[in-house]
Amino acid sequence: MEKGGTDARRDLRERTFEFAVRVTKLCRALKPVDLASRVIARQFLRAGTSIGANYEEAQASHSRADSACKCGIALKEAREAHYWLRLLAATDTVAGSRLTDILAECNELIAVLTTIVRKVKQPAA
């Protein structure tokens, strides 16, 4: 059964919220001891929690252009979170195997948000 617009929005709201929860828990578990780890963790926390916040703002936008802007920001934040996840793995700050699921979810959020941004930017019919 295909999801309607409202159900799909609710699902994405929940997914972005759950992603933010996972990001927060991962950052807490890091307990960064050096400056580089602290900076990476802080940047990842900021980007990863901002995705859902911007998507929520898009849902309350007053215009199609404002919605496109907020969804675009959410997409940029998702891409940035993906970057920090890759850096956490590449620097051995976190074992890459621990990041497999959250990286996959981040990739899915990027794909969904990319589709939304493209659709919202299309002229209204």
User: What confidence score (pLDDT) does residue 31 get?
Assistant: 81
Indicate yes or no: pTM above 0.85: yes
* Distance (Å, whole) CA 86 – CA 99: 9
The answer to whether the CB of 58 falls within 8 A of the CB of 74 is yes
Q: What is the DSSP letter of 92?
A: T
Indicate if the pLDDT at residue 6 is higher than 70.
Answer: no
User: What confidence score (pLDDT) does residue 18 get?
Assistant: 98
Indicate if the pLDDT at residue 9 is higher than 70.
Answer: no
* Distance (Å, whole) CA 66 – CA 50: 17
User: What confidence score (pLDDT) does residue 120 get?
Assistant: 84
pLDDT tens-digit map of 26-85: 999 988 788 999 999 999 999 999 999 999 999 999 998 999 999 999 999 999 999 999
Q: What is the mean pLDDT of residues 5-25?
A: 88
- Looking at this protein, which amino acid is placed at residue 38? R
Domains located in the chain, CATH noted: 5-121 (1.20.1440.60)
Identify which of 5, 11, 15 has the alpha carbon closest to the alpha carbon of residue 107: 15
- Looking at this protein, which amino acid is placed at residue 5? G
